[in-house]
């Protein structure tokens, strides 16, 4: 029996299994790292805006610290649906909403805008990165900071070795396969998720969905050359999850801009 594969937009069919796919990620430590950066660079910060919050795990973890008022946004309505459900289950006060970070709209200003887990790598053109910086600047309070991380070519080279052909079955409900490849010449990292929603145990009667995720991979020098064209000052470029300077071998770099 042949099964038709439907190509869905990124982070639509993946939303319901995203937290399981990311179960190896230590989000609490990541949230603590963002908190440390805030304490270091804008200790009075209260109002936080998360862009590309996904299913809201970082925002919910930061909320547990009981010192931030958080708005968390994502471009995918499916990711926000899951985030809202998680928020409701813990009586969260986080305001979750759908927002494309290419089209930021807010009447409020924020002490911190943050965008994590290489979500900025979804922007494949310099003009879009420049626009994002300008739009964030327009909604930052005085002394406000913009925090984001991006992954480097070295990370992509290493990551494909363990992400490619990653196959898992989740209960008797889903099965997914991830193919991961890196085009070093064009610096494009592609992850293809093939998701089967099992209607009953086994192979019969499955729905097949495919999502193709493409990210542009940036070196530190290139990202810094873009930032130089913005009105931001680089406070720090941190290596990985540490408060130490990034270097040419860094896999993930966290920028702190003001």
Ligand X SMILES: C[S@@+](CC[C@H](N)C(=O)[O-])C[C@H]1O[C@@H](n2cnc3c(N)ncnc32)[C@H](O)[C@@H]1O
Parallel, antiparallel or unpaired: strands 110-115 and 47-51: parallel
Is there binding between residue 11 and ligand X (CB under 6 A)?
yes
Token reading at 18: 């995203």
Is there binding between residue 87 and ligand X (CB under 6 A)?
no
At 67, is the secondary structure helix, strand, or coil? Answer: coil
Task: Give me the phi and psi of 66, to 5 degrees please.
Answer: 60, 35
At 77, is the secondary structure helix, strand, or coil? Answer: helix
Give the integer Cα–Cα distance in Å for 114 and 116: 6
Interface segment toward ligand X; rule CB under 6 A; list 36-44, 61-69, 74-82, 134-142: 74-82
Is there binding between residue 169 and ligand X (CB under 6 A)?
no
Query: In terms of Cα–Cα distance, which of 64, 78, 68, 80 is closest to 114?
Result: 68
- The residue among 53 and 198 lying less far from ligand X, judged by its C-beta, is 53
Q: Which of 49, 58, 62, 246 binds ligand X (CB under 6 A)?
A: 58
Query: What is the nearest approach in angstroms of ligand X to the Cβ of residue 205?
Result: 29
Is there binding between residue 102 and ligand X (CB under 6 A)?
yes
- The residue among 6 and 105 lying less far from ligand X, judged by its C-beta, is 105
Q: Which of 17, 48, 72, 75 binds ligand X (CB under 6 A)?
A: 75
Number of Cβ within 10 Å of residue 7's Cβ equals 11
Residues that bind ligand X (CB under 6 A): 11, 22, 52-54, 57-58, 74-76, 79, 100-102, 116-117, 119, 122
């Amino acid at each position: 029996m042949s099964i038709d594969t439907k190509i869905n937009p990124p982070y639509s069919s993946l939303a319901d299994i995203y937290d399981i796919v990311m179960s190896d990620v230590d989000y609490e430590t990541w949230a603590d790292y963002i908190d440390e950066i805030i304490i270091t660079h804008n200790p009075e910060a209260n109002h936080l805006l998360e862009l590309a919050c996904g299913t809201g795990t970082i925002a919910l973890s930061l909320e547990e610290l009981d010192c931030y008022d958080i708005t968390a946004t994502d471009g995918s309505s499916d990711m926000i649906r899951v985030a809202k459900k998680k928020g409701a289950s813990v009586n969260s006060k986080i305001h979750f909403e759908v927002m494309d970070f290419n089209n930021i709209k807010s009447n409020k200003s924020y002490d911190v805008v943050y965008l994590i887990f290489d979500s900025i790598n979804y922007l494949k053109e310099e003009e879009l990165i420049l626009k994002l910086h300008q739009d964030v600047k327009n909604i930052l309070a005085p002394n406000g900071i913009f925090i984001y991380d991006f992954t480097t070519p070295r990370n992509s080279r290493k990551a494909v070795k363990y992400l490619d052909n990653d196959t898992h079955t989740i209960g008797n409900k889903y099965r997914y396969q991830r193919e991961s490849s890196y085009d070093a010449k064009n610096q494009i990292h592609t992850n293809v998720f093939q998701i089967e929603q099992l209607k009953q145990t086994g192979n019969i009667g499955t729905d097949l969905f495919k999502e193709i995720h493409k990210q542009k991979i940036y070196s530190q020098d290139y990202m810094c050359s873009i930032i130089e064209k913005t009105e931001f000052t680089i406070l720090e470029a941190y290596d990985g999850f540490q408060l130490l300077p990034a270097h040419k071998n860094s896999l993930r770099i966290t920028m702190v801009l003001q």
